[in-house]
Each structure stands twice: as C-alpha cells, then as structure tokens.
Amino acid sequence: EVQLLESGGGLVQPRGSLRLSCAASGFAFSDYAMSWVRRAPGKGLEWVSTVSGNGGSTYYADSVKGRFTISRDNSKNTLYLQMNSLRADDTAVYHCAKIWNYGDGWGQGTLVTVSS
Amino acid sequence: SYVLTQPPSVSVAPGQTARITCGGDNIGSKSVHWYQQRPGQAPVLVVHDDTDRPSGIPERVSGSNSGNTATLTISRVEVGDEADYFCQVWDSSSDHLVIFGGGTKLTVL
C-alpha cells in the first residue's frame, strides 16, 4: 500500500522560504515520478511540480517556476519541495502524490500559510 | 495550455443519480481521471482512464468520455458521496504535465 507522509509546513512571512518533505513507503520509490499538488482555501486542486524517478527531469507550473525547486533522495525514499520568495497566494495545503498519468497515491498534506 | 471546465456545483437527492461533467477541446481523445476529495482529506482516485475503477470503488461509480465532454456518474447517491470532485488529464506534450478541472461540489440534499 502506498503511504506518503508530508512534513515541513507552517507559518512563514512573505518573501520567506520553506522546505517541504514527503516520506514514501509501500512501493519502489525510485521507479516512479512524484509530484506536489496544492489546494488553496476556497480553490481547487493545482498541480505544482513533478520530478522523474531518477530526478533528472523536473516540471513546474508557471505560478511557481523560478521560485520553487523539486528534488528527491531515492536513498531515503523522500521527496522535497524547496519554496523561496513565498507569496500570500502560495497559502495552501500541499499534497505529495504519486502521479504518472493519474494519481494513485496521495498524502494527507501539510499546510503552508504565508502571512505577516 | 489545455483547459478543463467543470460546473461549480451539482445537487442531488439520496438514491438519485448524479452526473458531473468535465469539458475540454476534443477531450474524447484524452484519458480522463476523476478524484473525490472530502474536507480535510487527501484526494482519492475514483475513476482512471475514462472508465476504470480502482479496487474498493463501488460499481455505482462510473465514467464516460466522448467528444468534448467527460462525465462522472454516481448512481444511487448516498450522503457519504458528498464531496468535491475533480477531473484530470495528463498532458505529456507540454511542460504542464498534470491538468485539473476547477472542481465540482456535490451536495446531497
């Protein structure tokens, strides 16, 4: 069974930074691309970023390109999202997800609040 | 980039059938996936590749896709089906791999 556990969320000031982590278990982590998806209050799901299984290819939504960096450590079965230059509209629950074509494994999410 | 359009809300009485649509340009040529998300919970895949149900999803949940509209159908709706539903496609032709519809709030009256 796919298990994904996010951590690292919290309250951060505008223009601040935060690093999210996602610990994975129950599947061959390095064989699968992994993604971050967020849901802002009162809004729908928004894809943020995807990294290939070996970490060599990364993809970003226009809204975070140049500010966020996705990475992974396959030796630790862990996915990361480094978030810099945070803005109020980045406030959301961030979900780690096993998505390639469709998402068949999701974490509960970690809340990021950007506010002064 | 590709756009998916869903109605903001759908309301149905218990025992009736709910149909949630997802519109997109020639969406019938793509594989459409559907998720259910209850408040405070992770999204759950309920239909993938237009019509396939993951294990554990009841048979009264089904999907279809043709032309410019994909549809998620929930028969014999129960109070527990009340949730937000999102359609999604995979766009490997661009750098924006994962595209979600805006979501539909299903209310069980």
The three-point CA angle A41-A43-A46 to 5° equals 110
Contacts of A30 (CB under 8 A, 6+ apart): A53, A54, A74
Optimal mutation site among A3, A36, A45, A70, interface B, most CBs of chain B within 10 A: A45
CA distance B18 to B84: 13
Pairing relationship of beta strands B83-90 and B33-37 according to DSSP bridges:
antiparallel
Contacts of B33 in chain A (CB under 8 A): 101-103
CA distance A31 to B103: 30
pLDDT tens string, chain B, 109 residues long: the values are 899 999 999 999 999 999 999 999 999 999 999 999 999 999 999 999 999 999 999 999 999 999 999 999 999 999 999 999 999 999 888 777 899 999 999 999 9
Contacts of B98 in chain A (CB under 8 A): 35, 37, 47, 50, 99, 103
CA distance A111 to A9: 5
